[in-house]
Structure 1
Amino acid sequence: MIRAYYIAILLTIALFKILSYIPSFNGSAIAFVPGQFIAHILYVIPFTKYPFYMHVFWTLCVEFQFYLLIGVIYFLSDSPLYKFIFLVLFSLSSLIPFSNSYYLVLNYAAIFALGISLVTLYKNRNWQNIMLPVFFLILIAFKFGIPIFILLLLCSIAVFYFTLIIKPLAFLGDISYSLYLTHTLTLIVFSGISKRLHIDLSHYKLFWLIIEVLVAALFAYIFYLLIEKPSLRLSKHIFYKKTKGSLLQTRLNLK
């Protein structure tokens, strides 16, 4: 997955460089600044003076913060009480008015906590585990408003009761990360080509929207096949080798 992100960064830089040679292109080439590039690689762009290559990358920075926080603190203890207290405190941190909070995981803590609590509830359905998702949904309604609350409530219900596999949705799920990484680039190119061909996208908006979505999905699928899927296989292979090695070492130690 990380490899796919790196490729997306390089594609973004290369694409803007190519587009800068086209007279009708309104933007400019992205200058390669080592500090900016490294900040993207390390997911720390929000904490630097550099702008994002593509603003959609900001969510990956938040996600990376989440993995660090959960990896370091949440799994310190297997005690249900510890995890309960952690999730409550973590979710309440979303109410703290941090500066630059838009790019901080704590701003979205209630949403992340809801996801974790749903996994716990799915594994063990008792009244105690029901309390947390309800609390987090109330907190989300207060923090983000009723529309987000309704959306996440419906998603929460779907997690438990919607077991039907719909192939088009499953396909979109498979390519969702690639679509996330590439959709903005695809739309930029699509818009540029339409201007070059003097196509007015303001007419028949629904038609052109469908075309844009299909083109974005097609490119995402190609990216998924060529970049994301091989990177997933590679990461699984590395993980398997590490796991196999650690198991072998454990057996040797036991002997």
Structure 2
Amino acid sequence: MTTQDLSNLASNQNNEFFMRYGVNTVQQLLSLSDMAISLTEAATTLNISRDDAEALVERAYKISNIINTRDKLRFIKADPLERIVLTPLQPQEQRDYRLLPHLNTNGSILRAKSNDDWQWFMKTCYQKISVSKAYISFPKSKVEDFKRFIGIATQLLPAKNWLINTDDKLIDTSIDKDEYQGMRYQQNLSVSTFRIGIASREVRDLSSNCVSTKNTWKYSPLFRFFIHMMLIMDDSLTIGEDEP
């Protein structure tokens, strides 16, 4: 993408809701809302227009209510007081955040270059992302969707930043190695689907043998956080459609 393309991209973003405010600002708005601070006060504190603040909170509310096929909340933890929490779950390990600027920048470029791919990717993520861990699962019957997902994912982050977890026999009979070359891969005989998410190095407790040296990667919660924030910040994305 040329310098002029990037300039045009920035100009277009200034004229639309997407990325009008930074991730940190939107996070603070949602946090203040969770603290029962009035929307007007929160908007004034963060220098956000009242209308924009209302739109962001409304979208966050819809996302917080998304459930999976087992009636479990997909993006937030159930609140013991049954309150609707708006603030996204955040990665606990600071090192996960180093990839967030790259995701934001590359996501903006992808959205500008190929909005169809951006829309499909985001819809797939919010309909499929695991409740327990931040990965997307594709059955063998959806291998073409899995291949498309890989192609888009590697536009957001380099291949080395993605982790695939599945059974060797399943992947060997379904997809060429060239199509996931460079990605982290872990065999799991108990998995009958293709699982993919952002890779994060497993932290090992050297005082115990709890973590195998053969499996040094896990799924980063940054993936869920990024998807959650983009769903809030991009008002072109439709929220609330049924599961596929």
TM-score of the two chains, using structure 1 as the length reference: 0.24
Q: Which has the larger radius of gyration?
A: 1
Larger proportion of helix: 1
Larger proportion of strand: 2
TM-score of the two chains, using structure 2 as the length reference: 0.25
